[in-house]
Amino acid sequence: MDVSHFLPTTAHEIAARGWDGVDVVFVTGDAYVDHPSFAMAVLGRVLEAEGFRVAILAQPDWRSADTWRALGRPRLFYAVSAGNMDSMINHYTASKKRRNDDAYSPGGKIGLRPDRPTPVYAQRCREAFRDVPVVIGGIEASLRRIAHFDFWSEKVRPSMLVPSKADLLAFGKGEETIVAIAKRLATGDTIDDVRGLRGVGYLLGKRGELPTCEWETLPLPSHEEVTEDKHAFARMTRAFHHETNPFNAKRITQKHGDRTVVLNPPCLPLDEEAMDGIYDLPYTRLPHPRYRREKVPAFEMIRDSVQIMRGCFGGCTFCSITMHEGRVIQSRSQRSIVAEVERVAAAKDFKGTVSDLGGPTANMYKMRCTRPEVEAVCKRLSCIHPTVCKLLGTDHAPTIALMRATRHVKGVKRVNIASGIRMDLANLDDRYIDELAAHHVGGHLKVAPEHQSDEVLGLMKKPSAQVFETFGEKFERASARAGKEQYLVPYYISSHPGSGVKEMVDLAVFLKAHGYKPRQVQDFIPAPMDIATCMYWTGLDPITMKPVETVNKVRDRKVQRALMQYFRPENWFQVNAALKSIGRSELVGNGPECLIPANPPKAAVEARRKRAQEATYVHAEDAGTSASVGYRPGRKGHRKSGGGRQRR
């Protein structure tokens, strides 16, 4: 496709449009893909629709400001985002090992952005044009808008406003916010004049005065307090999460030394018309032509997917969706969604399958509180935990109608549902399960029961294990009625706060009894500002302030992963030791209910020997090469540790 169909990315492309400059330069850590699943495309197109000239600076070389200067001075501001995914989760595994690929980079290449790109990019913006305002946003900045625990450095870090020195932090999805900022600056307002907008945060200096506003103000414990006192950190987390309802949230302040971080309440949820307006924009739904020689893996995964809604009222403690997208469901109209499916089906390379029709959750479409006056004052962190709120509208009829309409679009052979399904909601409507099983599952359906222990599930704010069993039975019967042999593929989390060896052994027994053999294990990663992250760091449930057992040593996390994959011969020694440590030796043997055989298989012995060798020697490729500089948090590369011990 001709480059003129995309937002410009170079000075040449800007000049080709006949422009003498741009209003906004959007700096992103991702490759530029003009698809509504990519933030830079959405925000760029939204600004374009309002008449602003926008350029995309995608994955710039951050080692100097030359790339920034090449696009010229933006008339209004720089908009900076690390990308669609948190950079640290993108770069590192749960064991803090560097990943071998980056799904948001061409060819899956690593090293095209630094760790925590937001402050680095913001600094380059300043170096390029010191007088141009800098607005940071995206998921990385949103999840670091107050003092937060950083898993990769094992310490409490300040708000992202502090290291970035940005003028504003726009948290949440940000379409209305970025347009409002652009309009105000275009009419002559200064960047300080727009501090009263919803969904923004800023840093007051030592002599700065907190402006008067319509919102009540809630001071959080200071950065210094939460760094020194884990109880203060837990209190901060609880207070912060209770201010996520945009209808009643307070303005939040937090001292950072002699400065003050100020966060206005979140943006109000978008209505259907506004959502349609965003997704009806003229996206090419393709990567920029500069990537024609190398595919962008993330695009390949979502190219034929369609997002129908945003937000989540589940409130899972290990999930960041609510903190970024909000807990009020914002849905598109059926007309807008069907029109996008028609555009997908009209593409020359479309193979007939819409890969996903969903969002954060596939079956929360058009679900809202049925009592707006109650929704306006509600402080619940979850609408469905510990039970489904009686005021929540849980009708799946709009979702069923949408599923039927999209699969009848010309050229569409199948519409898959690949987004997560909230099983406790699905269990309330057998019509939905029947529709799902009959038409939208290609043999296997991925679901996320997360754990088998109700105690752990309670800490996760997930439904009881019985909900999964009930859904499994209903899905099996629905598949049989449709004349199909289909199976569930459950996903579980290891090392979540509250999950010890006993809970993982019980999960392994459950998996064995039901014939599940997880090929991949989702190991808990403490993401910034999540409630579960607070549990991991403080050992406290911030909601109840009760102690929670946590697993924070690498060797213990490996044991939990091994228990979930007890069937792998190389895990025999770890599983055997874990079973004996809690007095479950009856699960070792050759009986049908045993998890592992009585004697270690040959593969287990070989795996142990290999691990011992790797713990003793440092391989050349891990010895701090130049490629790893700036990529591993706080260190240039691996170093040999005394006694062959595992390093955290």
- The model's pLDDT over 564-608, given as tens digits with 9 standing for 90+, comes to 999 999 999 999 999 999 999 999 999 999 999 999 999 899 988
Under DSSP, is residue 260 helix (H, G, I), strand (E, B) or coil? strand
**pLDDT given for residue 322 in this prediction:** 87
CATH topology of domain 304-565: pyruvate-formate lyase- activating enzyme (3.80.30)
Query: Token match 């969903």: residue?
Result: 358
In this prediction, residue 609 has a pLDDT band, given cuts at 50, 70 and 90, of confident
3-state secondary structure 2-70: CHHHCCCCCHHHHHHCCCCCCCEEEEECCCCEECCCCHHHHHHHHHHHCCCCEEEEECCCCCCCHHHHH
Query: Phi and psi dihedrals of 33, rounded to 5?
Result: -120, 120
Q: How far apart are CA 113 and CA 413, in angstroms?
A: 39
Give me the mean pLDDT over the 389-415 stretch: 97
**pLDDT given for residue 250 in this prediction:** 98
207-251 confidence digits (pLDDT tens): 889 999 999 999 999 999 999 999 999 999 999 999 999 999 999
Element holding 414 (H helix, E strand): strand 414-415
In this prediction, residue 617 has a pLDDT band, given cuts at 50, 70 and 90, of low
Domain definitions of the chain by residue range = 3-204+258-263, 304-565
527-561 confidence digits (pLDDT tens): 999 999 999 999 999 999 999 999 999 899 999 99
- Here the tokens at position 599 are 């004697």
**What percent of the chain clears pLDDT 90, i.e. is strictly above it?**
89
Tell me if 398 sits within 8 A of 433, measured CB to CB.
no
In this prediction, residue 630 has a pLDDT band, given cuts at 50, 70 and 90, of very low
Tell me the DSSP string of 481-495. Answer: HTT---EEEEEEEES
Q: How far apart are CA 79 and CA 74, in angstroms?
A: 10
In this prediction, residue 615 has a pLDDT band, given cuts at 50, 70 and 90, of low
Q: How far apart are CA 462 and CA 479, in angstroms?
A: 25
Tell me if 72 sits within 8 A of 267, measured CB to CB.
no
How far is residue 200 from each of residues 145, 236, 634, measured CA to CA in Å?
10, 19, 30
SS3 content of the chain, % helix, strand, coil (to 5): 40, 15, 50
118-152 confidence digits (pLDDT tens): 999 999 999 999 999 999 999 999 999 999 999 99
**pLDDT given for residue 616 in this prediction:** 66
In this predicted structure, the answer to whether residue 396 has a pLDDT above a threshold of 50 is: yes
Q: How far apart are CA 151 and CA 169, in angstroms?
A: 22
3-state secondary structure 271-331: CHHHHHHHHCCCCCCEECHHHCCCCCHHHHHHCCEEECEECCCCCCCCCCHHHHHCCCCEE
- Here the tokens at position 622 are 């891990």
Tell me the DSSP string of 154-202. Answer: TEEE--THHHH--SEEE-SS-HHHHHHHHHHHHTT--GGGGTTSTTEEE
283-309 confidence digits (pLDDT tens): 999 999 999 999 999 999 999 999 999
Give me the mean pLDDT over the 65-85 stretch: 97
